[in-house]
């Protein structure tokens, strides 16, 4: 599975969880904890964005040849240096 596909799926699940969390709080009529629930849902949405952004960065780094902007040192990974 490609990084972007994984990130899309994970992001979608995080957003669905945020929607469900907000919906359950609304259905239960939770008003005192609504700010905490809203904040938690917001954290899940931010996590979804971070997952997608990180997957894109990893894919771009893997696709770039050594010595390009994504590999400023221009050398092989440390584990390959022996």
- For 12-21, the pLDDT digits (tens) are 888 888 888 8
pLDDT at 80: 55
Chain centroid offset of residue 71 CA: 22
DSSP codes of every residue in 2-69: -HHHHHHHHHHHHHHHHHHHHHHHHHHT--TTHHHHHHHHHHHHHHHHHHHHHHHHHHHHHHSPTTST
- For 30-77, the pLDDT digits (tens) are 665 667 777 888 888 888 888 888 888 888 888 877 655 555 555 555
């Amino acid at each position: 599975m490609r990084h972007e596909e994984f990130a899309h799926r994970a992001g979608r699940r995080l957003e669905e969880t945020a929607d469900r969390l907000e919906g359950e709080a609304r259905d239960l009529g939770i008003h005192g904890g609504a700010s905490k629930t809203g904040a938690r849902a917001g954290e899940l949405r931010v996590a979804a964005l971070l997952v997608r952004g990180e997957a894109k960065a990893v894919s771009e780094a893997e696709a770039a040849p050594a010595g390009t902007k994504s590999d400023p040192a221009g050398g092989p990974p440390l584990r390959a240096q022996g």
